[in-house]
C-alpha cells in the first residue's frame, strides 16, 4: 500500500493517477492514439490530465474518470508548436460536460495567447444531459472562443462522424476534415490531412507561412523557361478546349485541393518557389455553391497572409446575384497579393468576378489565347449586328492590354516565371485602409 506521508509515496501515487488517466477504461482510447499520431514523437504535453467532473446527480459522483472525456494539450507538428484536443468517445459517450468544456476553453485561451494553431478531433458537440444547462453553456463558451480565434490562429477540425454538421465548432473552423466525403479536404487519413493542412499555414496572422526548400531562380523570366514550361504552349487546343487543372499542376508545386465535393471551382494550396499560395481555378459547372466556396477560401487566405493566384477560363456567369456578391466582396476586400492568369475566356461577369484588375488583382496576365470581352462571339455578333468572325476580333486580349486592364500578354511558357517575379514583388504589398469596423459581406 502506498504511504502518502512520504515523498516517494506521493510520487508513486501521482504516477498511478497519470497511468489511470491515460487508460481510464483499462486500455488506451482512440482519442489519445490520434493525438499522439498528430504530434511529433515525444513532443505532446498533456494539460488537465487529472481533471474530473464535479457532478453529483444521477449517480455521477461514483463515476469520475480522469480527463472527463477529452484529451487536451500541446506539442510540435513538424517542429512547429500546435495545440490540440481529442474527444474520447469511450467516456460518457463523448458528450460534453462542464469540466470538458473548461478544458477546451483553457486550451483555446492558451493557443490564442501564444499564437499557435489549434486542431480538434471530435465527433459531436452533444451536451451531457446529466449535468444540465451548464453543458450547453460550455458549448457556447467554446464557440465564443472559436470566434475570437478566427483570423488570429488557424483552426483545423477533423470530424469523426457521419457529417461535419455534427459539430458547430467544425462549422466555425478554417478547414474541416471528415471521413465520409462531405468534407473540405480528402484522400488521406484525417490526422495526416490535418498535418498537411498545417504545413501550408502560418502559426498565426502575423507569422509567415512555412516555406519549403526550392531552387531560387535568377535572371529574366525568358532565361528560365524550361522544357516543362514549353509544354504549356500546347495546353489550349485550337478549338479552345483547356483543362485548368493541367495549368495549375504545371505552374505550382505540391498542390493540395480543399473542398473537392463542390465541383464548380477548384480551391486549394500549392507552392511557387517554396512559397505557400492559394489557388483558385473555375470550372464550367460554377454555381452559387461554388461562389460561396471560393469566397470562403479567399477569406482564409487573406486572414493568414497567403497570396492568391486565379487561373481564369470563365464565360459570363449565370449565377444568382447574392451568391456572386459573396465572391466579389471577398476578393475585392482581400489585402493579400492577388494575381490572375487569364488562360482563355473572361467574359462579362466572369471577367469581373475572376481576378479583374478593377476588382483588385495586383497583377493580371493574359495568354494570347485569352478572350476578354463583355460577351462571347455569338452574343456580341447579335448585339452589334456583326458576323461571328467580325465579332471575334473584339475578343482578343490586346484591347484589354491597350487599356491597361491586363498588365501583360505572356506566352504560356512564361507563366511560372511571371508568377515567381510577381509573388516576389507582392511580398512587400502594403494597402492603407479606411477606418471602419468591418465590411458587410453578403452571407
Residues 237-291: tens digit of each pLDDT:
888 889 999 999 999 999 999 999 999 999 999 999 999 999 999 998 899 999 9
Alpha-carbon gap, residue 183 to 188, rounded angstroms: 12
Residue 19 confidence class, pLDDT cut points 50, 70, 90: low
Residue 217 has pLDDT above 60, yes or no: yes
Residue 8 has pLDDT above 60, yes or no: yes
The CATH number given to whatever domain includes residue 345 is 3.90.226.10
Same domain, 256 and 186: no
Same domain, 126 and 31: yes
Same domain, 295 and 372: yes
Residue 286, C-alpha cell as written in the block: 460554377
Number of H helices, E strands in the chain: 15, 14
Do residues 266 and 245 make contact, with C-beta atoms less than 8 angstroms apart?
yes
Same domain, 175 and 314: no
Residue 182 has pLDDT above 60, yes or no: no
Task: Examine the fold and report which residue of 168, 200, 232 is the final residue of a domain before the chain moves on.
Answer: 200
Same domain, 33 and 77: yes
Same domain, 194 and 235: no
Task: Examine the fold and report which residue of 200, 235, 259 is the final residue of a domain before the chain moves on.
Answer: 200
* pTM of the shown model: 0.90
Give a yes or no: residue 408 inside a domain. yes
Same domain, 238 and 139: no
Same domain, 288 and 188: no
Please tell me whether residue 251 adopts helix, strand or coil conformation: helix
Tell me which DSSP letter residue 408 carries: E
Count structural domains, the chain. Answer: 2
pLDDT at 312: 97
Structural domain range at position 65: 20-200
Residue 87 has pLDDT above 50, yes or no: yes
Give a yes or no: residue 127 inside a domain. yes
Same domain, 127 and 254: no
Same domain, 87 and 144: yes
Please tell me whether residue 184 adopts helix, strand or coil conformation: coil
Give a yes or no: residue 321 inside a domain. yes
Residue 26 confidence class, pLDDT cut points 50, 70, 90: low
Give a yes or no: residue 13 inside a domain. no
Alpha-carbon gap, residue 117 to 245, rounded angstroms: 30
Alpha-carbon gap, residue 341 to 347, rounded angstroms: 14
Same domain, 140 and 85: yes
Stated as kind and residue range, the H or E segment containing 119 is strand 118-122
pLDDT at 418: 97
Residue 338 has pLDDT above 60, yes or no: yes
Give a yes or no: residue 8 inside a domain. no
Amino acid at each position: 500500500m502506498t504511504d502518502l506521508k512520504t515523498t516517494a509515496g506521493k510520487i508513486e501515487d501521482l504516477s498511478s493517477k497519470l497511468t489511470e488517466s491515460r487508460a481510464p477504461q483499462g486500455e488506451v482510447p482512440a482519442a489519445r492514439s490520434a493525438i499522439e499520431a498528430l504530434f511529433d514523437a515525444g513532443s505532446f504535453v498533456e494539460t488537465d490530465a487529472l481533471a474530473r467532473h464535479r457532478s453529483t446527480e444521477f449517480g455521477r459522483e461514483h463515476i469520475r474518470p480522469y480527463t472527463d472525456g477529452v484529451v487536451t494539450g500541446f506539442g510540435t507538428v513538424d517542429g512547429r508548436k500546435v495545440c490540440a484536443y481529442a474527444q474520447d468517445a469511450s467516456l460518457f459517450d463523448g458528450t460534453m460536460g462542464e469540466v470538458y468544456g473548461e478544458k477546451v476553453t483553457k486550451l483555446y485561451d492558451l493557443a490564442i495567447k501564444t499564437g499557435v494553431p489549434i486542431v480538434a478531433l471530435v465527433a459531436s458537440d452533444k451536451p451531457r444531459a446529466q449535468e444540465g444547462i451548464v453543458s450547453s453553456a460550455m458549448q457556447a463558451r467554446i464557440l465564443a472562443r472559436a470566434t475570437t480565434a478566427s483570423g488570429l490562429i488557424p483552426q483545423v477540425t477533423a470530424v469523426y462522424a457521419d457529417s461535419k454538421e455534427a459539430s458547430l465548432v467544425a462549422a466555425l473552423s478554417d478547414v474541416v476534415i471528415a471521413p465520409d466525403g462531405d468534407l473540405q479536404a480528402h484522400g488521406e487519413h484525417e490526422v495526416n490531412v490535418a498535418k498537411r493542412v498545417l504545413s501550408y499555414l502560418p502559426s498565426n496572422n502575423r507569422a509567415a507561412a512555412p516555406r519549403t526548400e526550392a531552387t531560387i531562380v535568377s535572371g529574366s523570366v525568358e532565361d528560365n523557361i524550361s522544357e516543362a514550361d514549353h509544354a504549356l504552349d500546347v495546353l489550349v487546343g485550337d478549338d479552345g478546349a483547356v483543362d485548368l487543372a493541367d495549368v495549375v499542376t504545371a505552374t505550382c508545386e505540391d498542390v493540395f485541393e480543399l473542398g473537392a465535393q463542390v465541383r464548380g471551382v477548384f480551391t486549394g494550396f500549392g507552392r511557387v518557389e517554396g512559397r505557400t499560395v492559394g489557388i483558385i481555378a473555375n470550372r464550367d459547372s460554377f454555381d452559387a455553391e461554388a461562389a460561396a466556396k471560393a469566397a470562403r477560401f479567399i477569406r482564409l487566405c487573406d486572414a493568414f497572409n497567403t497570396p492568391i493566384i486565379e487561373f481564369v477560363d470563365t464565360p459570363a456567369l449565370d449565377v444568382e446575384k447574392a451568391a456572386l456578391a459573396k465572391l466579389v466582396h471577398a476578393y475585392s476586400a482581400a489585402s493579400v497579393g492577388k494575381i490572375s492568369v487569364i488562360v482563355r475566356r473572361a467574359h462579362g461577369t466572369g471577367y469581373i468576378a475572376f481576378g479583374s484588375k478593377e476588382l483588385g488583382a495586383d497583377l493580371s496576365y493574359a495568354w494570347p489565347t485569352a478572350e476578354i470581352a463583355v460577351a462571347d462571339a455569338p452574343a456580341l455578333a447579335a448585339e452589334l449586328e456583326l458576323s461571328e468572325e467580325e465579332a471575334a476580333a473584339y475578343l482578343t486580349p490586346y484591347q484589354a492590354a491597350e487599356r491597361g486592364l491586363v498588365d501583360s500578354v505572356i506566352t504560356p511558357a512564361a507563366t511560372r516565371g511571371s508568377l515567381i517575379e510577381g509573388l516576389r514583388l507582392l511580398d512587400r504589398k502594403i494597402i492603407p485602409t479606411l477606418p471602419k469596423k468591418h465590411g458587410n459581406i453578403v452571407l
